[in-house]
Amino acid sequence: MRPYREDRFLIEGRLSGVLMQAKAAYEASKKQFDAAKLQVADLGLDHPDGRRALHQATKAHKVAFRKYRQALMDFNYFILYGKIPEGEPDNPSTNK
**HEC letters along 26-88:** HHHHHHHHHHHHHHHHHHCCCCHHHHHHHHHHHHHHHHHHHHHHHHHHHHHHHHHHCCCCCCC
Does residue 38 sit within a domain?
yes
Does residue 24 sit within a domain?
yes
pTM: 0.80
Q: How many domains does the chain fold into? A: 1
Does residue 15 sit within a domain?
yes
Cβ distance 19 to 39 under 8 Å? no
Write out pLDDT tens, residues 18-42: 999 999 999 999 999 999 998 888 8
Does residue 64 sit within a domain?
yes
Does residue 23 sit within a domain?
yes
Q: Which domain holds residue 77?
A: 8-81
In this prediction, residue 57 carries a pLDDT of 93
- Which stretches of the chain score pLDDT less than 50? 1, 3
Does residue 30 sit within a domain?
yes
Measured CA to CA, the distance from residue 9 to residue 15 in angstroms comes to 10
Does residue 49 sit within a domain?
yes
Cβ distance 71 to 15 under 8 Å? yes
Distance, C-alpha 43 to centroid of its chain? 31
Does residue 72 sit within a domain?
yes
